[in-house]
Structure 1
Amino acid sequence: MVERWWKQRKGDLSNEPINQIPYTKRGSCEPHANIFLLKTHKTASSTVMNILLRYGEFHNLTFAFPKQNYQYMYPEYFSAQNVYGFSSRKQQEFNIMCHHMRFSLTEVEKVMPNDTFYLTILRNPVTLMESSFAYYKHANSFYNATNIEDFLHNKTKLYQGNESDSAYAKNLMTFDLGFNHNGPESLKHFKLFYQAVDTMFDLVLIAEYFDESLVLLKHALCWSFDDVLSFPLNSRSNTSRHVLSVETKERIKSWNQLDWQLYMYFNNSFWDNVEKFGRERMKNEVEELRKRRAQISEKCLDDQVEPHQLKDKSIAPYQPNSTRILGYNLKSGLDGNDQLLCHRLVLPEIQYTNLLHEKQFGNKTVT
């Protein structure tokens, strides 16, 4: 069990032992402990994942880990058999599932409890595709393109829709959600698509309004501000970013029409939820969240740096061949509780998965 952490923090959590916190009532609700995150690609989902990994660790929850490669056999559809320790012959209890998969509700339901809270996160398809091109330049459809404009102008030649990695180049969120990323583009199909997603997920976060999303998540899960504290993870260096023209942005929208319609629908519904929550209330809670993030940043961080500038290589993020991912240097002299929290806030998903996998099963890494 993780020992009592950050004992001096202020908030609505008590100093009870960590394993009792999920079951401590806060006002009229109880904190959710059973949570599924569809970790969509290039949408700030690594930061959301860190929140869930940290919450699960500090509250002694059980994770549904992939059997291998830190994802559930992506890009194949998810199967319950891909979960480490899952057996259809005996009942297990998994609280949190949050690694990459191609979503299949029926298979996830075989693993997760009936009262599981389902969430995912979406991002503007324009910036998502720019990020995807930089991160997945090795993908078959992108490999021979000089830049994203070259790909868009020559997509009929370059796009290989029958390749297993083709979704990196078109409608990536649609694919992650389990739908056909090369599917028909009609008003009826758009409507069926986003209505299905709306039915399956309890909350859809929006990357462009990340702090507002965390406030809605905090209330939906009956969590505290401290539970949703985070630093941006898996962020690219500015040298890897590409400025897009208005024409290129419009081409991306047209090419990723399924993703665009999905994003527009949930962006609108997101702000409907904010209206119901109360705009003034949202403004106040976002300010409080940012204040607490600034305080913990001042406590924890020296700076955010390029990979070669990291002092502690054990917390270096994974580096794809085509771009550079930033990491964090922690301040020296942190005491035990602060050191624990600060370390977990910046720990990349591969290292965090290995750490929790070892705690849960006794073996050091995902194979």
Structure 2
Amino acid sequence: PKTNVVFLKVHKSASSTVMNILFRFGETHNLTFAFPLNGGSQLFYPHHFMAKFVQGFSPGSAPQFNILCHHMRFLHPEVQRVVPSTAIYFSILRNPVQLMESSFVYYKGTSSFSRARNLEEFLHEPYRFYNPKIADSHYAKNLMTFDFGFNPDGDVTPKRVHLMLKAIEASFDLLLISEYFDESMVLLKETLCWDLDSVVSFPLNIRDSSTRSPLSDSMVEKIKKWNRLDWEIYIHFNKTFWERIDRDIGRERMQREVRALQQRQAELAEICLQGKGSVAPKEIKDSSLMPLQFGSAKILGYNIRQGLDKKTERMCRQLVTPELQYSSALYKKQFLQKLQ
């Protein structure tokens, strides 16, 4: 299995679930993570990534971290100083229409969104609310473009789009699509030579459907237009995603693999979870499994069955631990000698 991995954690794209998969794999195989300084949850986002943001990075030595997966704004030369040159680089994308709807709820407190009554009002006159000069404005426009390190406010010319797509292709080995999450995990498993259990997951950091709002056709068009660079990224890599599947796996085998993944997931849900799956925050019994409640979204979590044996309980707990708690536990483990 491949153990050197860079994951660009694009906001609001099922990336917390992917991060859980990487945390579990790293913990099981005793790998080192490139943690933010002092165990923070982001690598000084929204600044472009720099190697010195990583706890324990030393400029003189060879890149010594196995997994880089915390939120960052991508900058390839700096990332290369932290992970070995053999690392596999991957990320996950989401349809910019759903991404924007999700961001509006989750980042409601940011400068661009706080004064807009709803997404419709924002899109009707975005420049009434959006000021690119304000530090948190990136959440409101071309967020994927921004996370990949590019200017979200750039003019959309064919040349700029072409160069941006080429640059992403040059840096990344694999771009997954969150709308096809199971297929994405099969592709990831193949690329990293991991086993099925390594890529099984329960959806993390998802919100209660009561905050989801249906979008009219005209809203959809406005969102695409407003996030045109993101749309170009998404369309292009959605196409290459399926080309990759056809080339490396084939649709028939992919269907079989997805079925196996879903079956295993259902088995684990049966073993691990109380009730039918995710529950509202107020129903989470174990506070250490409570996900961060942020913005105006209600973020769901899980309850683990009682009476499991130690080994099973540990596995189940790994699957449902929210990223902030998991990250800080792994940080403590990795830097234990430092903290004593």
Please confirm whether the aligned pair reaches a TM-score higher than 0.5, indicating the same fold. yes
Matches within 5 A, 1:223-302: 223-276=194-247, 277-302=249-274
1:159-206 CA distance string (max 9 Å, x none): 111111111000000000000000110111111111111111000010
1:130 and 2:101 matched: yes
Distance 1:182 1:90 in 2: 37
1:202 and 2:173 matched: yes
Q: Is the 8 A contact 2:6 2:90 kept in 1?
A: yes
Distance 2:176 2:31 in 1: 23
Distance 1:214 1:140 in 2: 35
- Paired amino acid for 2:148: L
Between the two proteins, the alignment pairs up a number of residues equal to 335
**What are the ranges of 5 or more consecutive residues in structure 2 without an aligned counterpart?**
none
Q: CA deviation at 1:363?
A: 7.3
Distance 1:297 1:176 in 2: 33
Which position in structure 2 is the counterpart of 1:212? 183
**What are the ranges of 5 or more consecutive residues in structure 1 without an aligned counterpart?**
1-30
- Paired amino acid for 1:334: L
Distance 2:62 2:236 in 1: 38
Distance 2:337 2:283 in 1: 31
Which position in structure 2 is the counterpart of 1:324? 298
TM-score norm. by structure 2 comes to 0.97
Q: CA deviation at 1:154?
A: 1.6
- Paired amino acid for 1:286: V
Q: CA deviation at 1:321?
A: 3.6
Matches within 5 A, 1:112-123: 112-123=83-94
Matches within 5 A, 1:1-367: 31-68=1-38, 69-91=40-62, 93-276=64-247, 277-302=249-274, 303-362=277-336
> Helix, strand or coil for the counterpart of 1:330?
coil
- Paired amino acid for 2:160: H
Q: CA deviation at 1:364?
A: 9.7
Q: Is the 8 A contact 1:354 1:364 kept in 2?
A: no
Q: CA deviation at 1:51?
A: 0.3
Q: Is the 8 A contact 1:355 1:364 kept in 2?
A: no
Evaluate the alpha carbon distance shift between residue 274 and residue 329 of structure 1 in structure 2; reply closer, same or farther with a 3 A threshold.
same
TM-score norm. by structure 1 comes to 0.90
Counting aligned pairs with the same residue, the percent is: 52
Distance 1:44 1:239 in 2: 18
Distance 1:84 1:274 in 2: 37
Moved over 4 A (4+): none
